[in-house]
């Protein structure tokens, strides 16, 4: 049986004779296998060299990125610390405001109560990052969490201060603090005295201010008219009188009036003219009897005249 063969002829352009190479299939397969192995070896060598070059380039690139990251984290850490210092100053001012509106101050422990930070385990997937960078990043996150929660607390405190301030302003407006008459002389003070009608020692619950009949009588604070009594009998003690409920336990009484300009349930403000001086009831002459009542107890009205 005749086997297939490959005949190769080669010659040079000179005067050399023609040469031929005869290969059967076994020799051709061996030759191709050897060539393939050489080519594969060369390819592997090239890939290995290229891979090492790529890896080295990648490592250098990551190192540069890490260096840049360290610089940015250091700068970020400084900014967070600056914010923390500013926040401390705001917290100190917040405590000053709390004192101003009569609220309890917050200690630094109260302001940081419940504030926590993330654990470094958050970064376990980033093992290629420098551990010092990881530590500093963790500290920054903890500081940011701290600052964030303290800002929330500060915001709530400011809302509380505003609310208390508004309440204080309202209370001040509803606290008796001015004279009920622009003119007039105090003719009888708060305390024990000899009653001019009975001649006995009795407690005088208010302040008598002498003034001409018809002098304007003003409300000494904001409030709601509780009573406005214009009908009376000649022997009735107070005659025509007005009682105003100011809230917060305060009431004021204005007696011996000649005229009344308000009615029960009416809201009035400080300096509103509510009536006129008279001598109705048991009075020796035209004057205003003025009382300040706090929590159902009569107090010295002069303590509540600030103007």
Of the three residues 173, 200, 222, the one that is the final residue of a domain is: 173
Is residue 90 assigned to a domain?
Answer: yes
Is residue 180 assigned to a domain?
Answer: no
Tell me what pLDDT residue 118 has.
47
> Could you tell me if 254 and 280 lie in one domain?
yes
Of the three residues 22, 51, 66, the one that is the final residue of a domain is: 66
CB neighbour list of residue 213: distance below 8 Å, 6 or more residues apart: 258, 276, 277, 278, 279, 286
> Could you tell me if 200 and 260 lie in one domain?
yes
Strand 223-229 to 240-247 pairing: antiparallel
Is residue 242 assigned to a domain?
Answer: yes
Cβ count near 214 (within 10 Å): 11
Kindly give the parts of the chain with pLDDT less than 70: 1-24, 52-57, 60, 113-132, 197-198, 235
> Could you tell me if 31 and 98 lie in one domain?
no
Tell me what pLDDT residue 117 has.
47
Contact 106, 131 (CB under 8 A): no
**Total tally of structural domains belonging to the chain:** 3
Tell me what pLDDT residue 7 has.
66
> Could you tell me if 161 and 256 lie in one domain?
no
Specify the CATH number for the domain of residue 286: 2.70.70.10
Q: What are the pLDDT digits (tens) for 198-238?
A: 677 888 889 999 999 999 999 999 999 999 999 887 767 88
- The H helix count followed by the E strand count for the chain is 3, 14
Candidates 291, 190, 274, 259; CA nearest to 224 is: 274
Q: What is the pTM of this model?
A: 0.62
Is residue 142 assigned to a domain?
Answer: yes
Tell me what pLDDT residue 56 has.
66
Enumerate the β-bridge partners of residue 21: 8
> Could you tell me if 151 and 191 lie in one domain?
no
Candidates 244, 247, 254, 275; CA nearest to 206 is: 254
Tell me what pLDDT residue 69 has.
77
Tokens describing residue 218? 């003003």
Q: What are the pLDDT digits (tens) for 4-48?
A: 666 666 666 666 666 666 666 777 777 788 888 888 888 887 777
Is residue 237 assigned to a domain?
Answer: yes
Is residue 192 assigned to a domain?
Answer: yes
Tell me what pLDDT residue 245 has.
97
∠ CA 213-193-306, rounded to 5°: 60
Whole domain around residue 57: which residue ranges?
Answer: 5-66
Is residue 178 assigned to a domain?
Answer: no
Is residue 230 assigned to a domain?
Answer: yes
């Amino acid at each position: 049986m005749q086997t297939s063969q490959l005949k190769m002829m080669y010659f040079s352009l000179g005067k050399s004779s023609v040469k031929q190479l005869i290969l059967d299939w076994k020799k051709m397969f061996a030759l191709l296998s050897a060539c393939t192995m050489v080519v594969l070896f060369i390819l592997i060598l090239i890939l290995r060299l290229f891979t090492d070059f790529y890896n080295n380039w990648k490592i250098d690139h990551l190192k540069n990125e890490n260096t840049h990251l360290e610089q940015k984290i250091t700068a970020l850490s400084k900014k967070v610390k600056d914010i923390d210092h500013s926040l401390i100053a705001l917290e100190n001012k917040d405590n000053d405001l709390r004192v101003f509106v009569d609220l309890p101050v917050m200690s630094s422990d109260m302001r940081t109560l419940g504030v926590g930070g993330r654990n470094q385990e958050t970064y376990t997937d980033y093992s290629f990052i420098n551990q010092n960078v990881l530590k500093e990043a963790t500290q920054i996150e903890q500081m940011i969490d701290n600052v964030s929660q303290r800002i929330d607390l500060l915001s709530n405190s400011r809302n509380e201060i505003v609310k208390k301030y508004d309440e204080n302003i309202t209370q001040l407006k509803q606290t008796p603090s001015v004279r009920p008459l622009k003119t007039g002389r105090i003719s009888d003070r708060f305390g024990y005295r000899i009653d001019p009608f009975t001649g006995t020692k009795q407690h005088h619950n208010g302040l008598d201010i002498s003034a001409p009949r018809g002098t304007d009588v003003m409300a000494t604070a904001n409030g709601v008219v509780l009573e406005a009594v214009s009908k009376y009998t000649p022997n009735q003690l107070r005659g025509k009188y007005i009682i105003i409920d100011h809230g917060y336990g305060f009431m004021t009484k204005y007696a011996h009036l000649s005229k009344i300009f308000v009615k029960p349930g009416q809201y009035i403000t400080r300096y509103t003219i509510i009536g006129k001086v008279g001598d109705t009831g048991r009075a020796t002459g035209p004057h205003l009897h003025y009382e300040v009542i706090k929590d159902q107890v009569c107090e010295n009205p002069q303590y509540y005249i600030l103007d």
